[in-house]
């Protein structure tokens, strides 16, 4: 990556980058990305994929200019781009000094570790989504909303899947993930065919900065397809910890056949200590089916269902179009960008990425 960027953006001497709120300044060599320079100098900069698809290194550019090695718009929303956000892994500073801002690290997030893993079972949830159960060699500690990266034999590129269950303080050795089948996807084709069951895998976890922020603000959660996994992890964790916050969960699917985990969601709603509303929204349900619930795009129901949008928080998980539409809708209705948290699931359509994240 570095040599490629040097060939594209080389020239000129080293640049200086100030990273707030860490209060550190680093030297960025010619052709080097902001993330490469930060990691090389020991800065704990948030990151994972390093190819511009996961969004973990999302950074706000406060001063200076950067050259983009790839289009930020694939991962970042229009509202974020307009607010000055960039991806550090794809940003080569172009001026003598650059000032950026990252989210302060959370003391509760555990550093990723490598685990020996084995798929012990799969359960069909819909025609194209399975629950994958994995056992690992020692307990995994994670925060609800985070994800793990898997590597299978003969498949050098990692696949990322969100934890679908709530964490426990001592860590868990049996873990659940929701996986959507991507046509032609090497990992998911093998998984759905049963070829990976019992096989030895390498797992790295935990990753990601998608997790419930502290506070009592009302929440609107929006999920699409397999994007329900991290939100169920968050909601189950809230129930276990008796977190008192009003919440609306909007779940977008194509038809009734694509709805799943509804009984689990109803159990969460039944035990909630604050108002909890579950709204499934179907986009392709036949008109004559008898479905009396919401129809259309799930993001169209934000203004109707969100609880006190300007003062609330939003948690979104699903495919890029849903995330982008949801952020635009929320911002238009007064929610500040720093109150919107998302996990954008991609399906390998971006250059240099093959099935980087299983989408809804």
Per-residue pLDDT at 6 exceeds 70:
no
- pLDDT, residue 12, reads 65
110 three-class SS: coil
Beta bridge partners of 295: 282
Q: Single out the residue of 199, 202, 96 nearest to residue 158, CA to CA.
A: 202
Q: Which regions of the chain carry the CATH code 3.10.20.30?
A: 2-101
Instruction: Note the CATH number of domain 219-344.
Output: 3.40.50.80
- Pinpoint the alpha helices (H) of the chain: 2-9, 34-40, 78-82, 186-192, 228-241, 262-271, 302-305, 320-332
Q: In what order do the strands lie in the sheet with 172-180?
A: 155-162, 147-152, 200-207, 113-124, 129-140, 172-180
pLDDT of residue 55: 82
For the ranges 35-44, 68-77, 228-237, the one whose mean pLDDT is highest: 228-237
Band of residue 355 on the pLDDT scale cut at 50, 70, 90? very low
The length of the chain is: 360
Strand ranges across the sheet with 219-224: 294-295, 276-282, 247-253, 219-224, 313-318, 340-344
Q: Is the distance from CB of 130 to CB of 164 less than 8 angstroms?
A: no
Q: Which of 107, 132, 122 is nearest to 203 (CA)?
A: 132
CATH architecture, domain defined by 2-101: Roll (3.10)
Q: What's the pLDDT score for residue 356?
A: 37
Higher pLDDT, 303 or 66: 66
Mean pLDDT of 17-34: 93
Which is more confident, 274 or 63? 63
Every domain of the chain with CATH number 2.40.30.10 lies at 113-207
Please give the average per-residue pLDDT across 128-137, as a whole number. Answer: 97
- In the chain, the percentage of residues whose pLDDT exceeds 90 is 66
Top mean pLDDT of 71-80, 189-198, 342-351 is at: 189-198
Q: Name the pTM for this structure.
A: 0.84
**113-207, CATH topology level:** Elongation Factor Tu (Ef-tu); domain 3 (2.40.30)
What is the predicted pLDDT for the residue at 308?
Answer: 67
Query: By C-alpha distance, which of 146, 145, 86 is closest to 111?
Result: 146
> Which residues in the chain are classed under CATH 3.40.50.80?
219-344
Q: What is the pLDDT of residues 149-194, one digit of tens each?
A: 999 988 878 899 999 999 999 999 999 999 999 999 999 999 999 9
Let me know the angle formed at the C-alpha of 132 by 129 and 133, rounded to the nearest 5 degrees: 155
Asked if residues 245 and 238 have their Cβ atoms less than 8 Å apart, the reply is yes
Average pLDDT, the chain: 88
Kindly state the DSSP code that residue 98 receives in the 8-state scheme: E
Q: What is the pLDDT of residues 300-348, one digit of tens each?
A: 998 766 566 778 999 999 998 999 999 999 998 889 999 999 998 875 4
Q: Running DSSP on this structure, what letter comes out for residue 30? A: T
Q: pLDDT of 199-240, one tens digit each?
A: 999 999 999 889 999 999 999 999 999 999 999 999 999 999
C-alpha closest to that of 162 among 194, 206, 120, 124: 206
Beta strands 58-63 and 97-101: pairing type?
antiparallel
Maximum Cα interatomic distance, the chain, rounded to a whole number of Å: 67
What integer pLDDT is reported at residue 111 of this predicted model? 85
* The pLDDT value given to residue 298: 96
Using CB atoms within 10 A of its CB, is residue 16 exposed (0-12), middle (13-18) or buried (19+)? middle
pLDDT at position 292 is: 96
């Amino acid at each position: 990556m570095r040599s490629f960027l040097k060939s594209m953006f080389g020239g000129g001497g080293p640049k200086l980058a100030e990273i707030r709120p860490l209060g550190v300044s680093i030297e960025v060599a010619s052709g080097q990305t902001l993330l490469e320079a930060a990691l090389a100098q020991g800065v704990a900069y948030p990151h994972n994929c390093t190819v511009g698809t996961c969004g973990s290194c999302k950074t706000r550019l406060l001063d200076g200019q950067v050259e983009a090695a790839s289009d930020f718009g694939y991962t970042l929303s229009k509202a974020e781009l307009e607010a000055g956000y960039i991806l550090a892994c794809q940003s080569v500073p172009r001026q003598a000094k650059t000032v950026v801002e990252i989210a302060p690290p959370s003391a509760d997030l555990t550093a990723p570790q490598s685990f020996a893993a084995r798929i012990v079972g799969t359960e069909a949830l819909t025609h194209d989504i399975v629950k994958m159960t994995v056992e690992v060699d020692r307990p995994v500690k994670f925060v609800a909303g985070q994800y793990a990266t898997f590597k299978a034999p003969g498949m050098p590129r990692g696949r990322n899947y969100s934890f679908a269950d709530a964490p426990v303080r001592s860590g868990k050795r049996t873990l659940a993930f929701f996986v959507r089948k991507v046509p032609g996807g090497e990992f998911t084709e093998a998984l759905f065919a049963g070829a990976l069951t019992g096989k030895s895998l390498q797992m790295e976890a935990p990753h990601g900065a998608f997790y419930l922020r502290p506070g009592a603000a009302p929440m609107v959660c929006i999920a699409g397809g397999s994007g329900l996994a991290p939100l169920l992890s968050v909601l189950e964790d809230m129930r276990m910890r008796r977190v008192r916050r009003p919440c609306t969960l909007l779940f977008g699917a194509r038809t009734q056949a694509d709805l799943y985990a509804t009984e689990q969601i109803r159990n969460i709603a039944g035990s909630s200590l604050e108002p909890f509303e579950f709204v499934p929204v179907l986009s392709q349900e036949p008109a004559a089916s008898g479905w009396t619930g919401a129809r259309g795009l799930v993001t169209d129901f934000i203004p109707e269902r969100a609880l006190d949008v300007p003062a609330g928080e939003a948690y979104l998980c699903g495919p890029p179009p849903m995330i982008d539409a949801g952020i635009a809708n929320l911002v238009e209705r007064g929610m500040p960008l720093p109150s919107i948290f998302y996990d954008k699931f991609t399906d390998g359509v971006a250059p240099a990425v093959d099935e980087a994240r299983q989408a809804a």
